[in-house]
Amino acid sequence: MALTIAGSDSGGGAGIQADLKTFAALGVHGTSAIACLTAQNPKRVLAVETCSPVLLRRQIEAVFEELPPAAVKTGMLFTEENIRVAANFFRNPQSAICSPPLVVDPVMVSTSGAVLLKPEAIKTLKEKLLPLAVLTTPNLDEAEILTGCHLASAEDLRAAARDIHARFGCAALVKGGHLKNSREAVDIYFDGRTELLLGAPFIKGVSTHGTGCTYSAAVTGYLARGLALPTAVKRAKEFITQAIAGGYRIRKHFALNPLFY
């Protein structure tokens, strides 16, 4: 079993919906705790309304009470209060029946440019949640926020992954899908000992809404199945590549197809 703590996407392409589809594709029972509701479609985010910290905590407790997950991921938490809820739960061993690995997808900005993490929450994310993670999965923009450095090449991604590991103590998977003038979608993984360069050809003519959610959910799903972290990351890269390649059109938009895998 796996748990996702994230936002709901009314368009069905990202967030909780993408995570649960990914878990199902990997043969993992998915559970969820909804941190916020969004009114969004593949083009834009119209509105966000956060869940109360009390209800978010109760959702997580309800899952652990009867369906303790083998791995957990966080996605869009949106507020400082909800980041603290997640951090406090996973920091206190008495809060949980088990201590599953935690994957933090530091969702800050959508592909369309919408702000998905309030500025005052970034400090709390860095200080309280990332040190509890086994892995964080920032995209290019998020890695720049976490490191304070401009990233323009694969070598920059490599330095960022090492910097994030040094700062927060967790492994880093820095995603380079938004790198300009790159022939491949290059990601760098670093956990203090193992470094991986993960490349895949760009697939032309497709949108990538929900890719980050699906990618981190795939890592979480593979961890729930018992794979070691570097292996889970490599398998997740293969998974997301196939999900993009097997995507399909919905009206005038493009949807990932995790079930294709």
| Residue 213 designated active-site | yes
Tell me the two tokens of residue 246. 């097997």
Which residue among the candidates 208, 214, 220, 241 is catalytic per the annotation?
A: 208
Which residue among the candidates 74, 211, 214, 241 is catalytic per the annotation?
A: 211
Largest CA distance in the chain: 49
Host H or E run for residue 50: strand 45-50
DSSP for 92-109 reads -GGG-SS---EEE----B
Burial 62-81 (b: 16+ CB within 10 A, else e): ebbeeeebbbbbbbbbbbbb
Of 138, 129, 148, whose CA–CA distance to 80 is shortest?
129
| Residue 147 designated active-site | no
Which residue among the candidates 210, 220, 237, 247 is catalytic per the annotation?
A: 210
| Residue 175 designated active-site | yes
Which residue among the candidates 79, 170, 213, 237 is catalytic per the annotation?
A: 213
From CA 69, how far away is CA 42, in angstroms rounded?
30
Which residue among the candidates 11, 75, 176, 212 is catalytic per the annotation?
A: 212
Which residue among the candidates 175, 177, 214, 247 is catalytic per the annotation?
A: 175
From CA 97, how far away is CA 227, in angstroms rounded?
21
| Residue 113 designated active-site | no
Known catalytic residues? 175, 208, 210-213
